Amino acid sequence: MTAPIVEVLGVSKVYRRSRETLFGPRPEVHAVRDVTLQVEAGERLGIVGESGSGKSTLARLMLGLEAPTSGTISVGGHRLATADTTRMRAVRRIIQLVFQDPLGSLDPRLTVARIVAEPLEGLEIPGDHAARVREVLDAVGLGEAALDRYPHEFSGGQRQRIAIARALAPSPSVLVADESVSALDVSVRNQVLNLLLRLTRELSLTLVFISHDLWVVRHMCTRVAVMRQGAIVEVGPTEAVYAAPTDEYTATLLASVPTIESSMAARAMKRAPIASDP
């Protein structure tokens, strides 16, 4: 049996204030509570929940950007807690992040060529970096004309394509998209979602897609995990969970999706539909 490409076992994350308050001990914030989750190679896993449910914190833990308070996380067989610099470099080549805010995550002082080449240089990946940069820019629908331009010269959708190209540059196996289309308008959002779907299929990527938008997750993901107050309350195949949720919170969440939003999205889909599985 093949091991999961990402494995989260009994993970919790507690944040504590740096000093005591006037009213007693330092308060604690339990951002993630005893989460166990496996991500299988090649799947598209959606992690959904309301704002503050812990889904973005869980993503940062998977990426090794933060350390869990308890529990273990492994990526590609590498246990993050015990990984030295060499192993963490290997982890970074396996899993990459597409940020929510492309403008904030792209250095305005650097050209697109330098931005996309950053992970190649930082991870000391051998080969022709210039050729790889051109290759991934082509893959996201941006040509060589983008190479010498700066982030502020692009639209929001184009900047997100640059962010995706940078994440793809090291040839990762896993792409984590954290609210990566939430700042885009509906028509541009659907174009970027279509791009992510196409790339995951063509490059055989594993996708961890984090969103508060239940409608988008349904169309993007083969499996879904629902988070509430830092814990996973339900996980399963997307259509099964949406058709017959077993947890009361999931049912409430699904029932709260505004009808008008679904109608607007459906109209936008006619102009830029999200591709479905064959």
Distance CA(265)–CA(33), nearest Å, equals: 33
pLDDT tier for residue 23 given thresholds of 50, 70 and 90: low
Q: What is the pLDDT of residues 168-185, one digit of tens each?
A: 999 999 999 998 877 678
Which pLDDT score, from 0 to 100, does residue 270 have? 47
Q: What is the pLDDT of residues 52-85, one digit of tens each?
A: 899 999 999 999 999 999 999 999 999 999 999 8
Distance CA(40)–CA(5), nearest Å, equals: 6
Which pLDDT score, from 0 to 100, does residue 278 have? 42
Q: List the strands of the sheet with 95-98, edge to edge.
A: 95-98, 174-178, 206-211, 44-48, 223-228, 231-237
Which pLDDT score, from 0 to 100, does residue 188 have? 86
Q: Is the pTM of this model over 0.85?
A: yes
| Residues 177/209, Cβ–Cβ less than 8 Å | yes
Residue reference for tokens 């996309």: 116
Classify residue 173 by its DSSP letter.
S
Classify residue 18 by its DSSP letter.
S
Which tokens sit at 144? 């060589």
Which pLDDT score, from 0 to 100, does residue 256 have? 80
| Residues 10/34, Cβ–Cβ less than 8 Å | yes
| Residues 216/182, Cβ–Cβ less than 8 Å | no
CATH class, 6-271 region: alpha beta
Q: What is the pLDDT of residues 220-270, one digit of tens each?
A: 999 999 999 999 999 999 999 999 999 999 999 898 876 444 445 545 544
| Residues 71/11, Cβ–Cβ less than 8 Å | yes
